[in-house]
Structure 1
Amino acid sequence: MRLRLVRRNVLLLLGVIFVLVTLLFSTRVLIESENDPGAASSRVVSSNGNQGTNSCEILSFASLTELTQSIYSANYKQCVHNADRFPGEPRLVLVVQVHNRPEYLRLLIRSLERAAEVHSFLLIFSHDYVSQEINTIVRGITFCKVLQIYFPFSTQLYPNEFPGQDPRDCPRDISKEEARKTGCLNADHPDSYGHYREAFITQTKHHWWWKLHFVWERVHAMQGYSGFAVFLEEDNYILPDFFHFYKLMMEFRKTSCQDCDLFALGNHNGVTDFSSMSDKVLTSGWLSTKHNIGMAISREVYYKLMGCSNEFCTYDDYNWDWTLQHLSGACISNPLKVVSAQASRVLHTGDCGLHQKDNCRPEMALQKVEAGLQTAKDSLFPPRLVLSRQEPVEHKAHMKNGGWGDVRDHVLCNNYSKRL
Structure 2
Amino acid sequence: MRLRIYKRKVLALLLALGAAAACALTLWGSGGGGRPEGGEAFTPHSPSFPGTRGLLLPPPLPHLFPHNASAFPPPPPSKPPREEEDEDEDGLSLLSGPNATLRLRSLIYRLNFDQPLRNAHKWRPLTADHGNDAADTGAPWVALVVQVHSRPEHLSLLLGSLRQAKGVERVLLVLSHDVWSPELNALASAVDFCAVLQIFFPFSLQLYPEEFPGPDPRDCPRDLGRAAALQRGCLNARFPDSFGHYREAAFAQAKHHWWWKLHFAWERLRALRGLPEPGLLLFLEEDHFLAPDALHVLRRLWDMRQRECPECQVLSLGSYAAVRADDADFAAKARAAELKTWKSTEHNMGLAFPRETYRQLAACSEAFCAYDDYNWDWTLQHLTVGCLPRFWKVLLPQVPRVFHTGGDCGMHHSKKKDKAAADKASAACHPAAQIRKVEALLAAHRDSLFPEAMALSKRFPLAPLSPHVKNGGWGDIRDHELCKSYQRLQ
How much identity, in percent, do the aligned residues show?
A: 47
Identify the residue that residue 174 of structure 1 maps to in structure 2: 224
Aligned length: 374
Identify the residue that residue 236 of structure 1 maps to in structure 2: 288
Equivalent in 358, 362, 368 of residue 306 of structure 1: 362
Which residue identity is paired with 1:353?
Answer: G
Distance 1:271 1:111 in 2: 18
Which residue identity is paired with 2:479?
Answer: D
Listed as ranges, the matches of 1:208-287 within 5 Å are 208-225=258-275, 226=277, 227-272=279-324, 273=327, 274-287=330-343
* Structure 1 gaps, min length 5: 1-22, 26-31, 40-56
Which residue identity is paired with 2:445?
Answer: A
Which residue identity is paired with 1:151?
Answer: F
Closer/same/farther in 2, CA of residues 327 and 85 from structure 1, 3 Å limit: closer
Identify the residue that residue 112 of structure 2 maps to in structure 1: 75
Identify the residue that residue 15 of structure 1 maps to in structure 2: none
State the Cα deviation string for residues 374-411 of structure 1 (Å, max 9, x = none): 23322101111111221233221221110000000000
- TM-score, reference length from structure 1: 0.84
Identify the residue that residue 292 of structure 1 maps to in structure 2: 348
Closer/same/farther in 2, CA of residues 85 and 58 from structure 1, 3 Å limit: farther
- TM-score, reference length from structure 2: 0.73
Distance 2:199 2:258 in 1: 12
Q: List 4+ stretches of structure 1 deviating above 6 A.
A: none
Identify the residue that residue 66 of structure 1 maps to in structure 2: 103
Identify the residue that residue 416 of structure 1 maps to in structure 2: 486
Listed as ranges, the matches of 1:303-382 within 5 Å are 303-351=359-407, 352-354=409-411, 355=414, 356-357=422-423, 358-359=426-427, 360-382=429-451
Which residue identity is paired with 1:241?
Answer: D
Distance 1:259 1:170 in 2: 45
Distance 1:201 1:391 in 2: 34
Q: Does structure 2 conserve the Cα–Cα contact (< 8 Å) formed by 1:271 and 1:376?
A: no
State the Cα deviation string for residues 228-271 of structure 1 (Å, max 9, x = none): 10000000000001111011111111111111110001111253
* Structure 2 gaps, min length 5: 1-36, 40-46, 55-88, 131-140, 415-421
Closer/same/farther in 2, CA of residues 177 and 264 from structure 1, 3 Å limit: same
Identify the residue that residue 20 of structure 2 maps to in structure 1: none
How large is the Cα RMSD of the aligned pairs?
Answer: 2.4
Distance 2:240 2:374 in 1: 13
Identify the residue that residue 464 of structure 2 maps to in structure 1: 395
Distance 1:86 1:408 in 2: 39
Distance 1:93 1:405 in 2: 33
Identify the residue that residue 142 of structure 1 maps to in structure 2: 192
The DSSP-based 3-state class of the residue aligned with 2:346 is: helix
Q: Does structure 2 conserve the Cα–Cα contact (< 8 Å) formed by 1:78 and 1:147?
A: yes
Identify the residue that residue 7 of structure 1 maps to in structure 2: none
Identify the residue that residue 52 of structure 1 maps to in structure 2: none
Identify the residue that residue 203 of structure 1 maps to in structure 2: 253
Which residue identity is paired with 2:314?
Answer: L
Give the number of the structure whose alpha-carbon radius of gyration is greater. 2
The DSSP-based 3-state class of the residue aligned with 2:452 is: coil
Which residue identity is paired with 2:448?
Answer: S
Identify the residue that residue 163 of structure 1 maps to in structure 2: 213
Segment of structure 1 superposing worse, 218-227 or 336-345: 218-227
Identify the residue that residue 29 of structure 1 maps to in structure 2: none
> 1:87: Cα distance to partner?
4.7
Q: Does structure 1 conserve the Cα–Cα contact (< 8 Å) formed by 2:123 and 2:171?
A: no
> 1:289: Cα distance to partner?
1.1
Distance 2:476 2:179 in 1: 23
Closer/same/farther in 2, CA of residues 322 and 86 from structure 1, 3 Å limit: closer
> 1:372: Cα distance to partner?
2.3
Segment of structure 1 superposing worse, 62-71 or 364-373: 364-373
